Structure 1
Amino acid sequence: MVVTSRPTADTLVRLLSRDMALSTPRPWVKLWAAAFLVSVPVFVQAPLVRLCPEASLLISLIWFAIAGLLQRQPRWQSWGDLLQGFAWSWLAGSIYWGWLRWEPYLHLPVEAIALPLVIVGLRRQQGLVGHGFYLGSLIGTAVTDGYFYWIGAVPFWREIARSSPTEALPLAQQAIACLQSPTALVGAIVLIPLLCGAGVWALRQPRPAHWAFAGAVLGTLLVDALFGLVAVSDRLSLTQL
């Protein structure tokens, strides 16, 4: 006679917990994914939006379509949410850098185009990973823009946006010179700890949405830091010639 044993309640709980752990993405994966999305695609979008802003706008619709497909699958829903947050950032970037890039004071309002929808989603507890990424990216953009206003680089922003690549080079060198002023140093001392603090706070939270927020904030900080280091080093090399 074969004796079959029924699984106990404890066994069922362990099995369900294991299945949920396997199907739920680890938060750190969202951290690195968000950091990648906020830093790497911009190097593709930047030249594309100058050459053909309509193509960049069309690509944003493709991102939304892929995000919608992923959101319909329970296993990939959080990735669809993340991609949707990225799609909103891509759409805003396409609109601004394609047609409004010579107006620096419109940058942040255009980047915040999805903010009302994000607020509604947060209240309903829907799409939290994507909303976390979008808010982190938006905060990083706001801090970066505020820094440009602080160091007085806004006039160069307008001139560079309206000029050809050849004409923009000397203007860019003048804008880079603003990074070596005491005002720029004070601004960096104030803003860098704020961004780092926001990122560290989010990393201490257990939810993937917080880690997506942290990835977007810290990724923005990394890109800004690399840009600043490259700009200052190029400026120093030019002065030594």
Structure 2
Amino acid sequence: MASATSLSDIAAAKLASSGRPTTLPTDSGWGTSGALLKAATSEVMPVWTMASAAAFLVSVPVFVQAPLVRAWPWVGLLVGGLWVALSIQLMGEGQTPRRQLWGSLLLGFALTWLTGGLYWGWLRSEPLLHLPLEALGVPFALWKLRHPLLRVGNYFYLGSLVGTVVTDAYFYLVQVIPHWRQLMRSEPELAAGIFRSALVQVQTPWGVAWAAVLATLLLSIGVIALRQRSLHWAAFGGAVLSTILVDGLFWLAACWA
């Protein structure tokens, strides 16, 4: 397929200018792979641009999708299908390398949107099903993890999932899962009282200690990923680090409830 040709051209030009061979290895006919793709894409888009975009996209399902699919779950899935269609269009033949990268990131976002939509739309009252449903895209992400055009999106999806795993682990450790079930099954006007009850668990020495440990874990993973100086790791790191921000905003919301 020819959709990654422009990335290959950039990598070839970069290698030619450095005096190294310009023969480009391919990955299933899609063009550059490995270090060559890293060299090409780093010239197309700054690492921090990708990390910031990934961090922004992690917050969208939390603050937009959850209330949307709770009221109109089928609409949420339809929107997810539109994200997939747009991502494929952006990665299509003749698109610029920058658009192809945005398309890849958008496809990873679409995976998080669709898997999250299934849970928050129909099964949100059972926390035990949260991670299995959010992880439905893992087989695809791992299968195409090294695919040149899909790598950025797959790393973004996996980074977002890492944040979800750590957050859910905290809920289990501080025993707020019963409050989760109660919140999902109650009327909106009762939410404030449930938040306050859950906050009691969070503010115990046990809750504070685990919050510090897991926040440090997320921070370490995110920083290590960003230090790789490649766009797919930037997407991963941005997604992981934004989990700290989103969880912090939920904590503030519970405090103000």
TM-score normalised by L of structure 1: 0.85
Q: How far, CA to CA, are the matches of 1:86 and 1:146 in structure 2?
A: 22
Q: 1:140 to 1:21 in 2, by over 3 A?
A: closer
Correspondence for 2:66 among 46, 51, 55: 46
Counterpart among 201, 224, 229 of residue 247 in structure 2? 224
Query: Could you tell me the percent identity over the aligned residues?
Result: 48
5 Å matches for 1:34-183?
Answer: 34-72=54-92, 73-75=95-97, 76-183=99-206
Give the CA deviation at 1:63. Answer: 0.2
Gapped regions of structure 1 (runs ≥ 5): 1-8, 236-241
Which residue is equivalent to 1:6? none
| C-alpha spacing 1:80/1:21, structure 2 compared with 1 (3 Å) | closer
Alignment CA distance shift 1:172-1:58 (3 Å): same
Written as runs of structure 1 = structure 2, the 5 A alignment for 1:205-224 is: 205-224=228-247
**Runs of 4+ in structure 1 over 2 Å off:** 20-23, 123-126, 229-232
Q: Which has the higher helix share?
A: 1
- Normalised TM-score (structure 2): 0.80
Write out per-residue CA displacement over residues 91-121 of structure 1, whole angstroms, 9 at most, x where no aligned residue: 0111100100011011011000100001111
Matched to 1:45, the amino acid is: Q
Residue 13 of structure 1 pairs with residue 17 of structure 2 = yes
Shift of 1:168: 3.0
User: What is the deviation of 1:185?
Assistant: 0.9
Shift of 1:25: 1.3
1-structure distance, mates of 2:134, 2:41: 35
Q: Which residue of 2 aligns with 1:26?
A: 46
Aligned length: 221
Alignment of 1:173-212 (within 5 A): 173-212=196-235
The one-letter code of the counterpart of 1:229 is L
Q: CA deviation at 1:230?
A: 3.7
Q: Which stretch shows the higher mean deviation, 63-72 or 119-128?
A: 119-128
Over the aligned positions, Cα root-mean-square deviation in angstroms equals 2.2
Per-residue CA deviation, residues 30-60 of structure 1 (Å, 9 max, x unaligned), is 0010011001453121221111011011000
Of 189-198 and 42-51, deviating more is 42-51
Kindly provide the amino acid, as one letter, of the partner of residue 208 in structure 1. L
**How big is the shift at 1:225?**
1.6
Q: Which consecutive residues of structure 2, in runs of 5 or more, have no partner in the other structure?
A: 1-12, 23-39
Report the alpha carbon displacement of residue 190 of structure 1 after superposing the two structures with TM.
Answer: 1.1
Instruction: Pick closer, same or farther for the CA change 1:39–1:140 going to 2, 3 Å.
Output: same
Go from structure 1 to structure 2 and tell me whether the alpha carbon gap of 1:69 and 1:227 turns closer, same or farther (over 3 Å shift). same
In structure 2, relative to structure 1, the CA distance for the partners of 1:124 and 1:228 (3 Å cut) is: same
CA distance in 1, matches of 2:186, 2:212: 32
Distance 1:58 1:33 in 2: 23
* Deviation readout 1:1-20 (Å, 9 max, x if unpaired): xxxxxxxx99x838x9xxx6
